């Protein structure tokens, strides 16, 4: 009996992206953002030149860039320091956020108990938190990491909790009917079902992570840091360096965000692909299956 | 019990608060048969399924499968709902082997079987596709294959075609009968569509609500194989009239 | 500059946000409205002369209505002046040094204080002397707000102690609190001007006077810390206004120096939410008074020597690229 053909024909194909030329893809995904940034720089240059703005009030864009490139040997270790604080804090915050989200989803009593405290933690102005943290933790990298983690964990927790409590219960029941143990249901069903909200939380956290590191650096550093470099530039009316370091901080922030987006693309291929990527296992099985046929 | 019964219910009932979801029910299902259960919403169809599947512990009575007590235990039936419940993060192949992944290891033999079944029933070109790329009918077929490869002799299908359009539905019904014939399973099939219940089954159980209970048990006299013409045969019309009468408040 | 600070920077910014309008009701046709920009995001007792000039009607008599505004951060007063958002500003002399070096056409029109009262402070119970400075600093944590003044003075102290930057640990905390960190043992040495730090010790129930060591005793140049400044173009076009302002403020300064209790109470009344106690304001103002006049008991008067010393000092630590003529920085022609 052949009823299948009509169905196959009517299968809704997604827009076939592989047919889109690579050039067009690059143009859309890279070209447009770059163009908008270039446009921003042009407008900036036009305003500064057109209104005769003094360089100590606002620099020309190229001056800001020069302030970075000419001092790169000084700035590079500071950038690495900020990246280190951001990454450590982000990883710690994400781990804490995921753990809290899972625990709260699994133990409703704990959820009612802990949730208000979490909300409270985010109502505290992070700047007001920085000074006491320094008093407790000193001037090392630790208070910066704590501030970043403090900012990152919350959206992760909320999203993981939300994701886990919205897992399709019919699916969980189906796993039970199959006789699946709870931990396997958790790993195979609940965890992947929470991937999308988890990454939403991580992306929110990623956008604020660098800000947290900078706030921490401003609160106190023994030695130099990117925020202090900027602060010195500011007090010395070196506005070009102030803008330059701001651009650097922004680049760090965007890079980290894009890295998280990249991780999401890699970890959740079903979000944007029709067909799974080829893996070694599958290739091997496929050929074995084909020859058996 | 009769020697060929695969499933037996003995005085199985379930009450939720003040609502009698299922009156104590006794029922015997013959091995290899296709039994349709038809009734309006709230008649206890799904409660009955959940008790058989082990998701619900009945208030009393016993569920026996192959003459072994399985009351309140899971892992002994195939189960499928109107929602296909395919996981979006797995390919068609991996969705088909899902039960194995949830209970143990998926071996290459399991994957080979999944591919064989998919090819046999027209989904061979979609093994590495994600479910989002499939139509409703295709998804439902994948869900059914997933149920099949559990190798459970008893399949509980709860309105599996309820969400499909009429054309696709008819195709799926014919397809299901084909697979049922090929694989020699026992099927319990819930539907609220009387035509569907008669078209597919050897036997139709009619249920009614408040309290949920089985009010009639018809043997389906229609010959197999069944085609579109079956829908207009006199026996079909007669059986349909009797069922409709019951569903609209009549007495047996 | 920011070596005052009891209320944290964030709190100060919140409290100081907006501006206070001082001066005559704008009824008189002759009244001129000007904006005075302070150097810190929130008000504190160094504003006392301006508050007194308002309360005793000196501004009104001079035909002025004065709005006091507070910059968003401690480095913005120069920019407020340069963009015309403020007319007359309050700056440190080191801020003047870097501003002129960066090409900002700033002109100092009067000294606020005459000498350098910047000092090092150690933990209560210890003693800091020129003799034990090297031992007291070596390997120790020294607090800095990262402001131009501290950054300018520290090198001289280290040079005096024969220590390199690597032999001490300078902790920079723009939004931190030097005194809290010192009392909590998080740093070994805090740096600040005496008029701000000693009342802070007093408020916390400890004594700062005994643990202070004036910077000028250990190599720091003895130059004025604060000045009143305008842009060169404002000075050229609004000379009479500048003169009227300085005249009113000078009268108020003299009166406030003679009547510190009343003057401090005036300030406390004008800024009840400043975050400081009246006791702090009074003690701070009293400690400021001795530094307001020079050896000849003059207020406001600037000298070539002070600006030359400043420029050479800043050049010697590479904070500015070249030493300009003293007249680049200041003029005394608007003095009352």
Does B230 reach chain A within 8 Å, measured CB to CB? no
In C, residues 185-204, which contact A (CB 8 Å cutoff)?
Answer: 186
Under an 8 A CB cutoff, do C98 and A134 touch? Answer: no
What's the pLDDT at A194? 95
* Same domain, yes or no: C17 and C106: yes
Domain harbouring A197, CATH code: 1.10.3720.10
What's the pLDDT at B3? 52
Under an 8 A CB cutoff, do C172 and A131 touch? Answer: no
Nearest to residue B36, comparing CAs of B170, B174, B217, B169?
A: B217
Pairing of strands A221-222, C169-172: antiparallel
Give the closest-approach CA distance of A210 to chain C in angstroms: 17
Contact present, C322 and C315 (Cβ < 8 Å) = yes
Which pLDDT tens digit goes with each residue over A1-45?
333 443 443 444 444 445 567 778 777 878 888 898 889 989 999
Q: Report CA-CA distances (Å) from A211 to A75, A80, A86.
A: 18, 15, 9
> Which residue of A235, A236, A240 to mutate against C (max C Cβ within 10 Å)?
A235
* Interchain touch C–B (≥3 Cβ pairs closer than 8 Å): no
What's the pLDDT at C10? 44
DSSP classification of residue A187: I
- Nearby residues of C281 by Cβ (< 8 Å), 6 or more positions away: C44, C45, C48, C199, C264, C267, C268, C274
Phi, psi torsion values for C248, nearest 5 degrees: -65, -40
Among residues C203, C218, C233, the one where a domain terminates is C218
- Of A160-169, A244-253, B165-174, B183-192, least confident by mean pLDDT is B165-174
What's the pLDDT at A279? 64
* Same domain, yes or no: C286 and C207: no
pLDDT classification of A235: cutoffs 50, 70, 90: confident
CA dihedral for A268, A274, A277, A278, sign (positive or negative): positive
Residue B65: is its pLDDT beyond 60?
Answer: yes
DSSP classification of residue C211: G
Residue C315: is its pLDDT beyond 90?
Answer: yes
Burial class (CB in 10 A: 0-12, 13-18, 19+), C215: buried
What's the pLDDT at A289? 43
**C84's tokens:** 């015309």
What's the pLDDT at C5? 44
Which one of C26-35, C105-114, C201-210 scores highest in mean pLDDT? C105-114
Chain A CA closest to residue B107: A285
Contact present, C163 and C134 (Cβ < 8 Å) = yes
Contact present, B160 and B113 (Cβ < 8 Å) = no
> What is the average pLDDT value for chain B, to the nearest integer?
91
Under an 8 A CB cutoff, do A135 and C141 touch? Answer: no
- B91 closest CB neighbour out of A181, A189, A276: A276
Residue B199: is its pLDDT beyond 80?
Answer: yes
* Same domain, yes or no: C90 and C140: no
3-class SS of residue A283: helix
Q: A-chain residues within 8 Å CB-CB of C151?
A: 232, 235
Q: Which residue has the tokens 């401690």?
A: C74
Under an 8 A CB cutoff, do A236 and C170 touch? Answer: no
What's the pLDDT at A7? 41
What's the pLDDT at C176? 80
Contact present, A138 and A192 (Cβ < 8 Å) = no
* ipTM (interface predicted TM): 0.87
What's the pLDDT at C127? 87
Q: A-chain residues within 8 Å CB-CB of B88?
A: 270
Q: Report CA-CA distances (Å) from C335 to C150, C292, C306.
A: 29, 15, 17
Please count the residue pairs, one from chain A and one from chain B, whose beta carbons lie less than 8 angstroms apart.
123
Round to whole Å and give the CA distance between C15 and C276.
11
What's the pLDDT at A288? 45
Nearest to residue B185, comparing CAs of B150, B212, B232?
A: B150
Q: Report domain extents, chain B.
A: 1-77+194-252
* Same domain, yes or no: C32 and C172: no
Does B112 reach chain A within 8 Å, measured CB to CB? yes
Chain A CA closest to residue B104: A180
Nearest to residue B161, comparing CAs of B146, B178, B151, B174?
A: B174
Which pLDDT tens digit goes with each residue over B242-252?
999 998 877 76
* Same domain, yes or no: C199 and C143: yes
Chain C CA closest to residue A232: C146
pLDDT classification of C22: cutoffs 50, 70, 90: low
> What is the average pLDDT value for chain A, to the nearest integer?
85
Percent of chain A with pLDDT over 70: 88
Domains identified in chain C, total number = 2
> Which residue of C5, C73, C146 to mutate against A (max A Cβ within 10 Å)?
C146
> What is the average pLDDT value for chain C, to the nearest integer?
88
Does C231 reach chain A within 8 Å, measured CB to CB? no
- Domain extent, residue C207, equals 118-218
Assessment of whether the complete model's pTM goes beyond 0.90: no
What's the pLDDT at B218? 94
Question: C332 vs C145, which has greater pLDDT?
Answer: C332
In C, residues 106-145, which contact A (CB 8 Å cutoff)?
Answer: 141
3-class SS of residue C162: coil
What's the pLDDT at A282? 53
Q: Does a structural domain hold residue A69?
A: no
Q: A-chain residues within 8 Å CB-CB of B174?
A: 1, 3
Taking an 8 Å Cβ-Cβ cutoff, which residues of chain A contact chain C? 54-57, 125, 127-128, 130-131, 134-135, 138-139, 218-223, 227-228, 231-232, 234-239
| B139-143 mean pLDDT | 92
* Same domain, yes or no: C177 and C241: no
* Interchain touch B–A (≥3 Cβ pairs closer than 8 Å): yes
Residue C97: is its pLDDT beyond 90?
Answer: yes
- A235 closest CB neighbour out of C101, C147, C177: C147
**A251's tokens:** 């680049």
Class of the CATH domain delimited by B1-77+194-252: alpha beta
Contact present, B111 and B93 (Cβ < 8 Å) = yes
Percent of chain A with pLDDT over 90: 56
Q: A-chain residues within 8 Å CB-CB of C146?
A: 228, 231-232, 235
Residue C292: is its pLDDT beyond 60?
Answer: yes
Q: Does a structural domain hold residue C1?
A: no
Does C317 reach chain A within 8 Å, measured CB to CB? no
- Nearby residues of C207 by Cβ (< 8 Å), 6 or more positions away: C124, C201
Q: Looking at chain C, which subunits does it touch, using at least 3 CB pairs closer than 8 Å as the criterion? A: A
Among residues C185, C218, C251, the one where a domain terminates is C218
Q: C-chain residues within 8 Å CB-CB of A130?
A: 175
- Domain extent, residue A155, equals 87-267
Chain B CA closest to residue A278: B128
Calculated CA dihedral for residues C301, C304, C307, C310, nearest 10 degrees:
-120
Nearest to residue A46, comparing CAs of A57, A60, A32?
A: A60
DSSP classification of residue B76: S
Chain C CA closest to residue A137: C186
> Which residue of B89, B104, B181 to mutate against A (max A Cβ within 10 Å)?
B89
Under an 8 A CB cutoff, do A131 and C180 touch? Answer: yes
Q: Which residue has the tokens 């209320």?
A: C7
Residue B238: is its pLDDT beyond 90?
Answer: yes
Contact present, C88 and C34 (Cβ < 8 Å) = yes
Q: Which residue has the tokens 């050897």?
A: B202
Q: A-chain residues within 8 Å CB-CB of B116?
A: 289, 293
| B69-88 mean pLDDT | 91
pLDDT classification of B85: cutoffs 50, 70, 90: very high
Which pLDDT tens digit goes with each residue over A122-179?
888 888 888 888 888 888 889 999 999 999 999 999 999 999 999 999 999 999 999 9
pLDDT classification of C20: cutoffs 50, 70, 90: low
Question: A128 vs C133, which has greater pLDDT?
Answer: C133
* Same domain, yes or no: C110 and C231: yes
Domain harbouring C178, CATH code: 3.40.190.10
| C203-227 mean pLDDT | 90
Burial class (CB in 10 A: 0-12, 13-18, 19+), B96: buried
Does C87 reach chain A within 8 Å, measured CB to CB? no
Domains identified in chain A, total number = 1
Nearest to residue A226, comparing CAs of A84, A96, A55, A31?
A: A84
What's the pLDDT at B25? 92
Among residues C190, C218, C246, the one where a domain terminates is C218
């Amino acid at each position: 009996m052949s009823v299948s053909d009509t169905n196959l024909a009517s299968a809704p194909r997604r827009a076939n992206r592989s047919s889109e030329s690579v050039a067009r893809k690059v143009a859309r995904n890279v070209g447009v953002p770059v163009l908008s940034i270039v446009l921003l720089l042009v407008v900036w240059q036009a305003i500064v030149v057109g209104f005769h703005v003094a360089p100590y009030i606002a620099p020309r864009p190229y001056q800001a860039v020069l302030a970075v490139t000419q001092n790169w040997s000084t700035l590079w270790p500071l950038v690495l320091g900020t990246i280190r604080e951001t990454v450590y804090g982000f990883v710690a915050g994400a781990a804490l956020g995921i753990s809290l989200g899972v625990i709260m989803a699994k133990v409703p009593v704990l959820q009612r108990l802990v949730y208000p405290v979490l909300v409270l933690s985010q109502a505290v102005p992070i700047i007001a938190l920085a000074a006491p943290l320094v008093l407790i933790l000193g001037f090392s990298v630790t208070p910066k990491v704590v501030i970043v983690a403090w900012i990152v964990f919350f959206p992760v927790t909320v999203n993981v909790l939300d994701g886990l409590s919205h897992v399709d219960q019919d699916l969980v029941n189906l796993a039970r009917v199959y006789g699946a143990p709870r931990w396997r249901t958790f790993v195979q069903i609940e965890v992947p079902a929470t991937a999308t909200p988890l990454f939403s939380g991580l992306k929110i956290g990623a956008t604020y992570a660098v800000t947290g590191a900078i706030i921490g650096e401003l609160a106190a550093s023994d030695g130099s840091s990117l925020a202090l470099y900027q602060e010195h530039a500011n007090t010395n009316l070196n506005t070009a360096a102030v803008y330059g370091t701001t651009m650097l901080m922004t680049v760090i922030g965007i890079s980290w965000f894009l890295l998280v987006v990249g991780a999401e693309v890699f970890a959740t291929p079903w979000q944007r692909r029709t067909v799974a990527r080829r893996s070694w296992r599958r290739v091997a099985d496929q050929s074995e299956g084909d020859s058996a046929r | 019990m009769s020697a060929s019964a695969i499933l037996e219910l003995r005085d199985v009932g379930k009450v939720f608060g003040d609502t009698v979801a299922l009156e104590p029910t006794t029922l015997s299902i013959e091995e290899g048969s296709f039994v349709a259960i038809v009734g309006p919403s709230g008649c206890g169809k799904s409660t009955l399924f959940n008790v058989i599947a082990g998701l619900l512990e009945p208030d009393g009575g016993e569920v026996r499968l192959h003459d072994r007590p399985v009351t309140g235990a899971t892992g002994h039936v195939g189960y499928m709902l109107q929602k296909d419940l395919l996981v979006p993060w797995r390919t068609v192949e991996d969705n088909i082997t899902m039960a194995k992944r949830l209970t143990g290891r998926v071996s290459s033999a399991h994957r080979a079987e999944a591919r064989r079944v998919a090819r046999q029933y027209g989904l061979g070109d979609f093994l590495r596709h994600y479910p989002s790329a499939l139509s409703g009918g295709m998804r439902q077929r994948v869900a059914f294959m997933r149920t099949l490869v559990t190798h459970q002799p008893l399949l509980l299908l709860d309105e599996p075609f309820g969400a499909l359009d009429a054309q696709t539905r008819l195709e799926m019904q014919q397809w299901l009968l084909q697979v049922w014939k090929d694989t020699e399973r026992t099927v319990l099939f819930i539907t609220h569509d009387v035509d569907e219940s008669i078209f597919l089954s050897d036997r139709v159980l009619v249920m009614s609500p408040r309290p949920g209970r089985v009010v009639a048990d018809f043997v389906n006299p229609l010959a197999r194989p069944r085609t579109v013409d079956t829908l207009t045969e006199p026996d079909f019309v007669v059986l349909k009239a009797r069922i409709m009468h019951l569903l609209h408040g009549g007495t047996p | 500059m920011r070596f005052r600070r009891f209320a944290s920077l964030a709190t100060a910014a919140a409290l100081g946000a907006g501006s206070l309008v001082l001066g005559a009701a704008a009824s008189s046709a002759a009244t001129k409205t000007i904006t005075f920009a302070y150097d810190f995001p929130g008000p504190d007792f160094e504003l006392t002369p301006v508050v007194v000039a308002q309360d005793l009607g000196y501004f009104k008599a001079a035909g002025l209505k004065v709005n006091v505004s507070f910059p968003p951060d401690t480095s913005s007063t120069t920019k407020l002046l340069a963009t015309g958002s403020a007319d007359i500003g309050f700056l440190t002399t080191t801020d003047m040094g870097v501003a002129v070096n960066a090409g900002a056409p700033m002109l100092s029109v009067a000294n606020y204080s005459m000498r350098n009262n910047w000092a090092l402070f150690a933990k209560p119970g210890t003693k800091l002397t020129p003799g034990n400075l090297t031992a007291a600093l070596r390997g120790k944590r020294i607090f800095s707000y990262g402001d131009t003044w501290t950054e300018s003075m520290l090198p001289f102290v280290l040079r005096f102690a024969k220590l390199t930057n690597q032999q001490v640990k300078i902790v920079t905390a723009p939004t931190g609190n030097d005194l809290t960190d010192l009392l909590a043992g998080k740093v070994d040495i805090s740096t600040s001007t005496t008029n701000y730090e000693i009342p802070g010790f007093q408020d916390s129930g400890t004594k700062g006077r005994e643990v202070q060591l004036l910077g000028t005793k250990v190599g720091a140049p003895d130059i004025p810390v604060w000045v009143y400044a305008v842009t060169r173009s404002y000075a050229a076009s609004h000379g009479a206004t500048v003169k009227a302002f300085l005249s009113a403020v000078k009268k108020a300064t003299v009166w406030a120096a003679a009547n510190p209790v009343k003057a401090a109470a005036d300030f406390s009344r004008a800024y009840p939410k400043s975050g400081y106690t009246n006791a702090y304001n009074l003690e701070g103002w009293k400690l400021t008074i001795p530094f307001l006049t020079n050896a000849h008991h003059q207020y406001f008067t600037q000298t070539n020597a002070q600006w030359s010393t400043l420029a050479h000092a800043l050049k010697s630590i590479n904070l500015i690229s070249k030493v300009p003529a003293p007249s680049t920085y200041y003029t005394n022609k608007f003095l009352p």
